[in-house]
Chain A
Amino acid sequence: MSALTPAQLARLRAIVGSENVLTSPEDTIPYGFDGTAALKGPAETVVLPGSTEEISAVVKFAGEYGRAIVTRGSGTGLSGGSVPSEGCIILCLTRLDKILSVDAANLTVRAQCGVITAAIDAAVQQHGLFYPPDPGSMKISTIGGNVAENSGGLRGLKYGVTRDYVMGLEVVLPDGRIAQFGNACVKDVAGYSMKDLFIGSEGTLGIITEVLLKVLPRPAARRTMLASYDRMEDAAQTVSDIIAAKIIPCTLEFLDRMTIGCVEDYAKIGLPRDCEALLLMETDGHPAAVAEEAEQMLALARARGARDVRVARDDAEALQLASARRSAFSALARVRPTTILEDVTVPRDKLAEMVAFVAEVAKKHNLLVGTFGHMGDGNLHPTFLTDERDAAEMARVHEALEEIVTKTLALGGTITGEHGVGLAKKAWLRRQVGENSHDLMREIKRAWDPHNLLNPGKIFD
């Protein structure tokens, strides 16, 4: 597809202002990718609108000329959802960055799509409130992107994911109309729950421009513990025991042996290199409940053969214990030039089996893979440490991924727990959801966006 003509560009400039249309290679090349390893697309035109009305006008303009629109926020996605396609207009929404209101009486916050996730939690914190979803990129990811990808985070087991906090949305539809879905009512069964169709739709059905989110009272207390194990199964079993004891901790995170070694190389915090698993546990809530639950979790970990359990006495020590988990990704990412972060997810009771399988596959294909992740919700992050210039090694990475996906599906899991399908996972979607479900998704997309203008080629072809 040829580039936009000068007359067409002039129309775009008239809509958003000339400083908000970027066309020179020095300006646009940095929009050719998102946070996904080894994926890149042609970035020719970038438009940075400042309001819902401008977005609507740009979408109408694109429809007129049959131009695709690829929407992005801060570009931190991990499945290639905002990688540009041939001839598209890149719609970057970072200028819509206002928090519109915090409603402490109804426990809601209203924000424009380009607000940074961490800024939402910071804004409600002043009212003693709490926005729980905390994806790894929350310091820069936008809330619109979080909703479009239905992002998760470390608190999934107790607090759920982004979907569980979306009460309402404003969306620009593929033909440029502006629609509102949902409201501040806890109960609302008027018609189809349309907002749910847009959550996790990865920019293929509409452009989310404003969100109304639910928030919670901020937990008054928190307790952090770190346990080490000789067997991954024991760590996994501890998690099952904790949940069987009717405790729902806010954090249950694990690191495997390879990851522990890398963290120790990098951060030198005195982790035992010879153990198979580290389990970071956190409980939060009312101080009395937290104290009681922490005691129980400690006892359960010891009963399952934890070698060593450390309990943080104060916030500073809690931070220190959590730093093992927080530096996991950084530590791994330093080892080789290319870091491929996966996020297959299995039912909780299959997690130890899956971690062992990943280690086996890595060995078989002679690859470096560290696994860490969310033990409480079965979400693993097998992280491939490789080099995209080494074609032979990359071929082995793809074989290994294929085997991991096959095993995940055999265990009743999902190809993606929180990163989305985008470009990276679309080859496997049909296998996971089945033919009828896959067809229905495509039919919805076709009916909704008949000219395939919004983020074409993502999720499915």
Chain B
Amino acid sequence: MKPSLKLLDYSILQQCMHCGMCLPACPTYVATKKERHSPRGRISLMRAVADGELKLSPAFADEMSYCLGCLACETACPAGVDYSNLLETARAEVQSAGLNQTFTSRFWRTVTMRGLFMRPRLLRFAGRLLWLYQRLGLQTAFRKIGLTKLLPPDLRRLEPQCPTIATKFSPQLIRPVETPAKSRHRVALLTGCVQDLVFAELNRDTADVLLANGCEVHTPPVQPCCGSLHAHNGEAAAAKTLAKRMIDLFPPAQFDGIISNSGGCGNHLRHYGALLADDPVYAPLAKLWDTKLRDIHEWLLEYGCLAPRTGLGDLTVTYHDSCHLTHGQKVTKQPRDLLKLIPGLKLVELPEANWCCGSAGIYNITQPVQSEQLLVRKVGHVIGTGASVLATANPGCHLQIARGLRQAGSPITLVPPVTLLARAYRAEQKRKESRRG
């Protein structure tokens, strides 16, 4: 059955009482002041489609694509409208209707959604090729002699944005099972896709922090993509397939916690129950899965996190809330509390900390103009805090804001909260060892 607004439980649409409280929270409404670019405006269009008053049109497709999917509206909504469900259904319907597609967009969609992000080994292989391209100096050389101009326009624009691929991926850094001295919990660590290719070190840091807090960490070397990219971009069937593979790899009954360290993935991962509700075999497993799924910061605060006794020197840090961690998973206090555990670390609040940075999945690729405006706004606030480190817990935000800071010539570095914590534990360990020595 194809996803469709007409078949969706109508009460989800009806739950919107069009009070307008979402408007000031919505970056695209605030930028344009046009109702169609607001959550309640988009819902009214979806409802018009469901009611048969509006046909699926390229303009409707554009609007669904113009939404960041940051879910700030869900935080602001008094009536608890399930906007992410509505948006995913609308995007899926647009997708299956084949609206707004060019040959190249279809090509890249097939390569990514149906190819790379369905096959973890292939993705790593592609990552390795990209790494070689960057390492062997080909990138610099190609740029110098203008070879990149031969790329199709979409890729040419993206080429400079391409993140630096990590030298080692997670399986080279983390053994399948690692056990602490005193084990209190058994947890699974999800390594992510982009996360694994670009921020494999963060996965190592996450494992270290879990180990330091009494967790036996299970990290299978080959893990499927969680399917969030597919669900957010209208590929519902693929999202279900991937969710099942994930549950097969990590039977939820075997773990006390299933840990995600990426805001966007985590928000999708904790809703497998709803995604697989109609599946006779997987529905109960998915439900159990949801109860075990935790964001790393959430897990640490819930089960107790040791305060490191050694700090990282005098360090002024500010924190950016990734949309899906704050609006999707409602995890806002925990990362800040973790940062405050580090001795000598001064946490300064970032103005508009929970305003989208414009990364928003592949939004910076599909909507470059609006994305850039949001990035400039974010970078301005970050620089204004006077902090030397920006902590954030989502790879998309990390890459986007790092690029913005580079463009602005700012020396501020980006470090995930968990990495700061892992560094503090290591510093403590080192001090202990040097005392002994």
Contact A337 to B36, CB < 8 A, known contacts A24-B59, A29-B54: no
Contacting chain A: which of B20-28, B128-136, B272-280, B348-356? B20-28
- Whether A26 lies near B36 (C-beta < 8 A) is yes
Chain A contacts of B24 at CB under 8 A? 116, 139-140
Q: What residue in chain B is nearest A331 (Cβ atoms)?
A: B78
- Whether A95 lies near B15 (C-beta < 8 A) is no
B280: shortest Cβ distance to chain A, in Å? 28
Chain A contacts of B59 at CB under 8 A? 24, 26-27
Q: Mark A131-160, 1 if CB is under 8 A from B, else 0.
A: 000000101110000000000000000000
- Whether A333 lies near B23 (C-beta < 8 A) is no
Asked whether any CB of chain B lies closer than 8 Å to the CB of A329, the reply is yes
**Which A residues, 51 to 98, have Cβ-Cβ distances below 8 Å to chain B?**
74-76, 92, 94-95, 97
Asked whether any CB of chain B lies closer than 8 Å to the CB of A457, the reply is no
- Whether A76 lies near B19 (C-beta < 8 A) is yes
Chain B contacts of A432 at CB under 8 A? none
Of A26, A140, A339, A388, chain B has the most CB atoms within 10 Å of the CB of A26
Q: How many residues in A have their beta carbons less than 8 Å from beta carbons of B?
A: 36
Q: What residue in chain A is nearest B14 (Cβ atoms)?
A: A337
Chain B contacts of A141 at CB under 8 A? 20
In the bound assembly, the distance between CA atoms of A75 and B19 in angstroms comes to 8
A188: shortest Cβ distance to chain B, in Å? 35
Chain B contacts of A26 at CB under 8 A? 36, 45, 54, 57, 59-60, 63
Task: Out of B17, B48, B79, name the residue touching A29 (CB < 8 Å).
Answer: B48
Q: What residue in chain B is nearest A39 (Cβ atoms)?
A: B18
- Whether B21 lies near A139 (C-beta < 8 A) is yes
Chain A contacts of B38 at CB under 8 A? 30
Interface size bracket, B side = 20 to 34
Of B24, B53, B63, chain A has the most CB atoms within 10 Å of the CB of B24
A177: shortest Cβ distance to chain B, in Å? 27
**Which A residues, 366 to 421, have Cβ-Cβ distances below 8 Å to chain B?**
387-389
**Which A residues, 318 to 358, have Cβ-Cβ distances below 8 Å to chain B?**
329-330, 333-334, 337-339
Asked whether any CB of chain A lies closer than 8 Å to the CB of B41, the reply is yes
Q: Mark B340-364, 1 if CB is under 8 A from A, else 0.
A: 0000000000000000000000000
Asked whether any CB of chain A lies closer than 8 Å to the CB of B80, the reply is yes
- Whether B23 lies near A140 (C-beta < 8 A) is yes
- Whether A389 lies near B10 (C-beta < 8 A) is yes
Q: What residue in chain B is nearest A333 (Cβ atoms)?
A: B79
Contact A32 to B44, CB < 8 A, known contacts A25-B54, A94-B33, A140-B24: yes
Contact A337 to B21, CB < 8 A, known contacts A29-B45, A29-B48, A95-B33: no
Task: Out of B20, B34, B35, B44, name the residue touching A35 (CB < 8 Å).
Answer: B20
- Whether A76 lies near B54 (C-beta < 8 A) is no
A221: shortest Cβ distance to chain B, in Å? 25
A159: shortest Cβ distance to chain B, in Å? 23
Chain B contacts of A22 at CB under 8 A? 34
Chain B contacts of A330 at CB under 8 A? 78-80
Contact A30 to B14, CB < 8 A, known contacts A35-B19, A139-B21, A333-B79: no
Task: Out of B17, B20, B42, B44, name the residue touching A37 (CB < 8 Å).
Answer: B17
Chain A contacts of B57 at CB under 8 A? 26
Of B35, B36, B53, chain A has the most CB atoms within 10 Å of the CB of B35
Asked whether any CB of chain A lies closer than 8 Å to the CB of B336, the reply is no
In the bound assembly, the distance between CA atoms of A31 and B23 in angstroms comes to 13
Task: Out of B35, B45, B53, B60, name the residue touching A75 (CB < 8 Å).
Answer: B35
- Whether B80 lies near A334 (C-beta < 8 A) is yes
In the bound assembly, the distance between CA atoms of A25 and B58 in angstroms comes to 12
B64: shortest Cβ distance to chain A, in Å? 10
A320: shortest Cβ distance to chain B, in Å? 15
Chain A contacts of B40 at CB under 8 A? 30
A16: shortest Cβ distance to chain B, in Å? 14
Asked whether any CB of chain A lies closer than 8 Å to the CB of B254, the reply is no
- Whether B18 lies near A34 (C-beta < 8 A) is yes
Asked whether any CB of chain A lies closer than 8 Å to the CB of B407, the reply is no
Chain B contacts of A387 at CB under 8 A? 11, 14
Chain A contacts of B23 at CB under 8 A? 74, 140
B53: shortest Cβ distance to chain A, in Å? 8
Q: What residue in chain B is nearest A24 (Cβ atoms)?
A: B59
Q: What residue in chain B is nearest A266 (Cβ atoms)?
A: B80
B45: shortest Cβ distance to chain A, in Å? 6
- Whether A140 lies near B21 (C-beta < 8 A) is yes
A23: shortest Cβ distance to chain B, in Å? 12
Q: What residue in chain A is nearest B18 (Cβ atoms)?
A: A33
Chain B contacts of A95 at CB under 8 A? 33
Chain A contacts of B48 at CB under 8 A? 25, 29
Q: Mark B91-131, 1 if CB is under 8 A from A, else 0.
A: 00000000000000000000000000000000000000000
B406: shortest Cβ distance to chain A, in Å? 33
In the bound assembly, the distance between CA atoms of A330 and B11 in angstroms comes to 17
A239: shortest Cβ distance to chain B, in Å? 26
- Whether B44 lies near A33 (C-beta < 8 A) is yes
- Top 4 closest pairs, chain A to chain B, by CB: A30-B41, A30-B35, A330-B78, A333-B79
Additional 19 contacts, C-beta under 8 A, given A29-B53, A97-B33: A26-B57, A26-B60, A27-B34, A29-B48, A30-B41, A31-B35, A33-B44, A34-B18, A35-B17, A48-B33, A48-B34, A76-B20, A94-B33, A140-B20, A140-B21, A333-B78, A334-B15, A337-B14, A389-B14
- Selected A-B contacts with CB under 8 Å, 16 pairs: A25-B48, A26-B60, A30-B45, A34-B18, A75-B18, A137-B21, A140-B20, A140-B23, A141-B20, A329-B78, A333-B17, A333-B79, A338-B14, A387-B14, A388-B14, A389-B14
